[in-house]
Amino acid sequence: IVENHGRDAHRLLSMLREVQQKLRHVSPLAQRTIAESLGICITQVSAVVEFYSFLSTTPLGKFDIRISDSITDHMLGSRDVAARLCRRLGILPGETRHDGRVSLTFTSCTGLCEQGPAGLINGYAITRLTEERTDRIAGLINNDTPLDEWPGELFTVEQNIQLTDRLLGNPVQPGDALGRTLALGRETMFGEIETSQLRGRGGAGFNTAWKWRFCYDGPEAAVCPPGQPAAGIERYVVCNADEGEPGTFKDRVLLQSSADQVFEGMTVCAHLVGAKRGFLYLRGEYLYLYDRLEAVLAARRQRGLLGKAILGKEGFDFDIEIRLGAGAYICGEESALIESLEGNRGIPRNRPPYPVTHGYLGQPTVVNNVETFFAAAAIAVHGGEWFAAVGTEKSKGTKLLSICGDCARPGIYEYPFGVTVARILEDCGAADVLGVQIGGPSGTFLSDKEFDRKLAYEDLATGGSFIVFDRTRDVIEIARNFTHFFAHESCGFCTPCRVGTPLLKNLLDKIAAGHGATGDLAELSRLGRFVRSASHCGLGQTAANPILSTLERYPEIYQARLKTIDFEPGFDLDGALATARRLTGRDDANAHLSQS
Ligand code: SF4
């Protein structure tokens, strides 16, 4: 495996994925062998193994099942599915069966929120886990039927495109955007992207033309020490396909239905910034897309749309490599993603410098997400004015939304920016709505009094997740699910987030279980604000959003869950005193403290 990867330590994650696939785990021996072969320290290898949740140091089952723990899967019954599977297979969650046949655990989110309950088997997506399908899967495993002989319908992933506008409604044919880019020339095409006012679709909304321009214009000054030439500088284009925000699945659909257009957008970018190499960083949960995407890349090479002298243009060389993630939400953050591409743990870097000047291998790197490159290809064909003709003053064009939860028609919807939440709810068939989570767990929870608000950077910025909750749902349970998600996904680099997110989780669990007191609510709010202000990256800075935004909107629901005392310990107080009673030989009434 190491040889196949050219003994390149930057490809460590890919090597470890392959070892895991062959051995069902990455054993200490395998770690040592890889470290010695690469000439790196074993701790560097073990740190990476321990960081990514899809890698395991102990053997997983021949059939490794991971059920999605996302809130939308919970709402569709994922916990019942897991319990049923465990019964049928004779295991407990987190266990590998004694014969090594099967293991079952939970995973944060599979990006299949509109067709859950969903999960992964040996990394491949399984959807709509009804009781009947669950029993069939258990039967196939108990009969030891090889995965490639399972009925294909178990692995069907629907696209569910419900509403199209100018992007989805005007697909770009392979080569059209590149042809126009070459015909117009670099500066004119830069002008088109600038006119479009396209902003990065991941949520932060940085101006795409500026980012590309910084990469093309500015890096020499930033990268080279004064007086040194710019020779040796390589530029890179990275497509972030690591959408891991629960409730988001639009990039999955774009890669399923329009990968050619996404690669075309990356190639247009490469031409403008002068990059020769690109990466598509594909989240590990989308393994089932890998072969299809490779086939699209191969077809593009065949047609002269990738490789040397693209479309016959001497010097226009560019190719794209797909790299798979391994179950770490934080790798959606661009600097963590670059660390992962370099074979490291996905720990966000200090910024500045920004990846656009000091990215992959310290070189100028454009990182944009799937939807941004998809839109850029359309702009290259239809022009900046065409794109900017819809939207609002500061948010031009259209936005793709992944809509799921309590609605009749979940799926992908494309709207011009400025659309109201009320309109979206009507379109997707939502009724009796309690609230909507905009932008995933790191976003905002809107109550039914705010449905006239608009999706736009000026009002509600979003990466595209839109989860609907009706009045049967429990607000505290929603906040609890999201808070558990952040505590699980914290990379552990900085103390406020590493320590703060589990504290928030424990406090919220205590309140949800009916053990909370008035002081706990104040502490929840204080701690949440602290984690928000003191954390190193966006994950920690938004981890308290589910708590703070629901506390602000529904204080009465939290209040109603409290006990009418000022302080309540978060553990079994009387049980904790049992050892002391035994040691002192006391068991009188005063040696017992009641929590009620
Ligand atoms: Fe890691 Fe959380 Fe700190 Fe971000 S805020 S660097 S995820 S520990």
Q: Are residues 242 and 319 in the same domain?
A: yes
**What is the structure's pLDDT at 209?**
97
User: How far apart are the CA of 332 and the centre of ligand 1, in A?
Assistant: 12
User: How far apart are the CA of 482 and the centre of ligand 1, in A?
Assistant: 16
pLDDT in tens, 63-93: 999 999 999 999 999 999 999 999 999 999 9
Determine the atom of ligand 1 nearest the C-alpha atom of 537: 4
**What is the structure's pLDDT at 537?**
96
Determine the atom of ligand 1 nearest the C-alpha atom of 541: 5
Per-residue CA distances from 354 to 219, 241, 335, 336 (Å) = 11, 19, 8, 12
DSSP E strands in 382-421: the ranges are: 398-405, 411-416
Q: Which of 336, 355, 388 is the last residue of a domain?
A: 388
Nearest CA to ligand 1 atom 3: 494
Q: Are residues 333 and 422 in the same domain?
A: no
| Contact indicator for 467, 71 with CB cutoff of 8 Å | yes
**What is the structure's pLDDT at 594?**
64
What's the mean pLDDT when you consider all of the chain?
A: 94
User: How far apart are the CA of 178 and the centre of ligand 1, in A?
Assistant: 39
Determine the atom of ligand 1 nearest the C-alpha atom of 498: 8
User: How far apart are the CA of 130 and the centre of ligand 1, in A?
Assistant: 37
| Contact indicator for 396, 205 with CB cutoff of 8 Å | no
Q: Are residues 171 and 259 in the same domain?
A: yes
What does the DSSP assignment read for 453-471?
Answer: -BBSTTSB--SSEEEEEET
User: pLDDT band at residue 225, thresholds of 50, 70 and 90?
Assistant: very low
Question: Which amino acid, 192?
Answer: E
User: How far apart are the CA of 268 and the centre of ligand 1, in A?
Assistant: 33
Determine the atom of ligand 1 nearest the C-alpha atom of 535: 5
User: How far apart are the CA of 325 and the centre of ligand 1, in A?
Assistant: 18
The enclosing domain of 489 has a CATH number of 1.20.1440.230
Q: Which domain holds residue 414?
A: 398-473
Q: Ligand 1 pocket check: which of 242, 245, 330 to mutate, most ligand atoms within 8 Å of Cβ?
A: 330
pLDDT at 224 over 80: no
| Contact indicator for 462, 203 with CB cutoff of 8 Å | yes
Q: Are residues 187 and 207 in the same domain?
A: yes
In a domain, 589, yes or no: no
**What is the structure's pLDDT at 595?**
58
User: pLDDT band at residue 263, thresholds of 50, 70 and 90?
Assistant: very high
Per-residue CA distances from 211 to 12, 32, 104, 193, 441 (Å) = 29, 41, 43, 11, 27
Give, to the nearest 10 degrees, the angle between helix 545-553 and helix 475-489: 160
In a domain, 522, yes or no: yes
User: How far apart are the CA of 558 and the centre of ligand 1, in A?
Assistant: 28
- Closest alpha carbon to 17 in 332, 278, 248, 282: 282
| Contact indicator for 201, 245 with CB cutoff of 8 Å | no
Q: Ligand 1 pocket check: which of 337, 349, 350, 494 to mutate, most ligand atoms within 8 Å of Cβ?
A: 494
The enclosing domain of 166 has a CATH number of 3.40.50.11540
User: How far apart are the CA of 26 and the centre of ligand 1, in A?
Assistant: 25
Helix ranges (H only) for 106-249 are 131-142, 176-184, 186-196, 208-217, 219-223
Distance (Å, whole) CA 378 – CA 511: 49
Q: Ligand 1 pocket check: which of 535, 541, 542, 545 to mutate, most ligand atoms within 8 Å of Cβ?
A: 535
Question: Which amino acid, 409?
Answer: R
User: How far apart are the CA of 406 and the centre of ligand 1, in A?
Assistant: 31
Which residues sit with their C-beta closer than 6 Å to ligand 1? Answer: 330, 348, 490-494, 497-498, 535-537, 539-540
Q: Which of 329, 355, 388 is the last residue of a domain?
A: 388
The enclosing domain of 108 has a CATH number of 3.40.30.10
**What is the structure's pLDDT at 581?**
86
Q: Ligand 1 pocket check: which of 349, 442, 493, 530 to mutate, most ligand atoms within 8 Å of Cβ?
A: 493
Give, to the nearest 10 degrees, the angle between helix 250-273 and helix 186-196: 140
In a domain, 546, yes or no: yes
| The two structure tokens encoding residue 171 | 């697909």
pLDDT in tens, 480-539: 999 999 999 999 999 999 999 999 999 999 999 998 988 999 999 999 999 999 999 999
Q: Which of 473, 495, 512 is the last residue of a domain?
A: 473
Q: Are residues 414 and 380 in the same domain?
A: no
What does the DSSP assignment read for 256-286?
Answer: HHHHHHHHHHHHHHHHHHT-SEEEEEE-GGG
Question: Which amino acid, 582?
Answer: R
The enclosing domain of 460 has a CATH number of 3.10.20.600
In a domain, 588, yes or no: no
Q: Are residues 282 and 362 in the same domain?
A: yes
Q: What dihedral angle (degrees, nearest 10) is formed by the CA atoms of 80, 86, 88, 91?
A: -170
**What is the structure's pLDDT at 211?**
97
Q: Ligand 1 pocket check: which of 331, 489, 537 to mutate, most ligand atoms within 8 Å of Cβ?
A: 537
What does the DSSP assignment read for 479-536?
Answer: HHHHHHHHHHH--S-SHHHHHHHHHHHHHHHHHHTT---HHHHHHHHHHHHHHHHH-S
User: pLDDT band at residue 573, thresholds of 50, 70 and 90?
Assistant: confident
**What is the structure's pLDDT at 210?**
96
| The two structure tokens encoding residue 242 | 């690591």
User: pLDDT band at residue 308, thresholds of 50, 70 and 90?
Assistant: very high
Q: Are residues 310 and 273 in the same domain?
A: yes
Determine the atom of ligand 1 nearest the C-alpha atom of 540: 5
User: How far apart are the CA of 330 and the centre of ligand 1, in A?
Assistant: 8
Q: Ligand 1 pocket check: which of 334, 337, 345, 536 to mutate, most ligand atoms within 8 Å of Cβ?
A: 536
Distance (Å, whole) CA 249 – CA 403: 9
User: How far apart are the CA of 94 and the centre of ligand 1, in A?
Assistant: 25
Determine the atom of ligand 1 nearest the C-alpha atom of 491: 1
Tally of structural domains, the chain: 5
Nearest CA to ligand 1 atom 5: 540
Q: Are residues 256 and 343 in the same domain?
A: yes
Distance (Å, whole) CA 157 – CA 288: 9
Residues 201, 204, 206, 212: is their CA dihedral positive or negative? negative
Q: Are residues 245 and 277 in the same domain?
A: yes
Q: Are residues 189 and 128 in the same domain?
A: no
Nearest CA to ligand 1 atom 4: 537
Determine the atom of ligand 1 nearest the C-alpha atom of 492: 8
User: How far apart are the CA of 347 and the centre of ligand 1, in A?
Assistant: 7
Q: Are residues 366 and 509 in the same domain?
A: no
User: How far apart are the CA of 134 and the centre of ligand 1, in A?
Assistant: 36
User: How far apart are the CA of 497 and the centre of ligand 1, in A?
Assistant: 6
Distance (Å, whole) CA 223 – CA 218: 9
In a domain, 58, yes or no: no
User: How far apart are the CA of 504 and the centre of ligand 1, in A?
Assistant: 15
Nearest CA to ligand 1 atom 1: 491
User: How far apart are the CA of 348 and the centre of ligand 1, in A?
Assistant: 7
User: pLDDT band at residue 468, thresholds of 50, 70 and 90?
Assistant: very high
User: pLDDT band at residue 204, thresholds of 50, 70 and 90?
Assistant: confident
pLDDT at 226 over 70: no
User: pLDDT band at residue 370, thresholds of 50, 70 and 90?
Assistant: very high
- The HSE-up count of residue 307 (CA atoms within 13 Å, CB side) is 11
In three-state secondary structure terms, 551 is helix
ipTM field: 0.99
pLDDT in tens, 279-292: 999 999 999 999 99
**What is the structure's pLDDT at 538?**
95
Q: Are residues 239 and 349 in the same domain?
A: yes
pLDDT in tens, 417-441: 999 999 999 999 999 999 999 999 9
**What is the structure's pLDDT at 276?**
97
In a domain, 67, yes or no: yes
Q: Ligand 1 pocket check: which of 539, 541, 542 to mutate, most ligand atoms within 8 Å of Cβ?
A: 539
Distance (Å, whole) CA 405 – CA 224: 50
In a domain, 565, yes or no: no
| The two structure tokens encoding residue 114 | 């509109």
In a domain, 526, yes or no: yes
User: pLDDT band at residue 249, thresholds of 50, 70 and 90?
Assistant: very high
